[in-house]
Amino acid sequence: MRITVIVPTYRRPKDLERCLEALEKQTRPVDEVLVIVRDTDPETWGFLEAFNPEVLPMRPVKLSIPGQVAALNAGLDAAQGDIIAITDDDAAPRGNWLAYIETHFLSDHRIGGVGGRDWVHLGNYLENGARERVGRVQWYGRVIGNHHLGVGLPREVDVLKGANMSYRRTAISGLRFDQRLRGTGAQVHNDLGFSLALRKAGWKLIYDPGVAVDHYPAQRFDEDQRGIVFSDTALINAAHNETIVLLDYFPVLQRIIFIVWSTLVGTQIKPGFLQCLRSFPKEGLLAGQKWLASLRGRWQGWLSWKKCLG
């Protein structure tokens, strides 16, 4: 099996350097590394021009379109491997990452995707929690992540995380990351949509905590600042994107249930009315802002989804 690793990057050459150094140290050598770089990113191009081509089979792919979705699709177009692994520029795969990925794909031809834990480093603090429930979409639409906290044995999941996911080429033939998703940079939930498309097609997705990367969340150069500062636009985009993805995935009855649940209840991050009331004593008017942004995103997501149907 040939393995390609795709690394989208934008204006984070120091993070990219750490990522490439980690790929150099894989016990199962990588066959191809594609670094997807914007044409408006001179810092990264300067770093790549000085990069030693003898230490890693790396080639850059130039892109003029902003956003992670376009970068990932450009990577899929250029990739030559039988297995296509994807990680972030601010992640550093552990030494046995590719070896474990390959072992899973060789073990079962029905496996379409493999991912694992991303150990999140926040400055000097390592998030070291433990969760058994990882990567699941509940019947009414609540998405359970916890990829950064997963423990236990390898198991089937519904969703793999963008910082640590890999796919069998034959499973994703003809599949693209969703260009309807909003956002000028991260375009959140692109991994959710891609994963659920494979699940809907009948492929297995495996989450193995041993397939690990170290993740050092870095600055984003868009409206989504990872919750550090509340952004109305970022929350609208996130709710819009999640709504499109889940409406695509669910059958008719579950679509109705999801719309009712998401607008009436929701989650702390994308609150419905009841979550807004619950958060109001602590957050005050901010709780209302989040609810309105979430509601707008849900509505706009519904309209975008309906437009594509028509």
Token code pair at residue 191: 């991994």
Q: What is the pLDDT of residues 123-173, one digit of tens each?
A: 999 999 999 999 999 999 999 999 999 999 999 999 999 999 999 999 999
Q: How close are the terminal C-alpha atoms of the chain, in Å?
A: 41
For the chain, which domains are there? Answer: 3-215 (3.90.550.10), 232-309 (no CATH)
Q: What is the pLDDT of residues 231-263, one digit of tens each?
A: 999 999 999 999 999 999 999 999 999 999 999
β-pairing, 32-38 with 3-9? parallel
Long-range contacts for 50-57 (Cβ within 8 Å, ≥24 apart)? 51/20, 55/24, 56/20, 56/23, 56/24, 56/30, 57/30, 57/31, 57/32, 57/33
Query: According to the model, what pLDDT value does residue 228 have?
Result: 58
pTM for this predicted structure: 0.95
Query: According to the model, what pLDDT value does residue 185 have?
Result: 85
Query: According to the model, what pLDDT value does residue 203 have?
Result: 99
Query: According to the model, what pLDDT value does residue 89 have?
Result: 98
Q: State which residues of the chain have pLDDT below 70.
A: 220-228
Query: According to the model, what pLDDT value does residue 220 have?
Result: 63
Rounded Cα gap, residues 216 and 201, in angstroms: 33
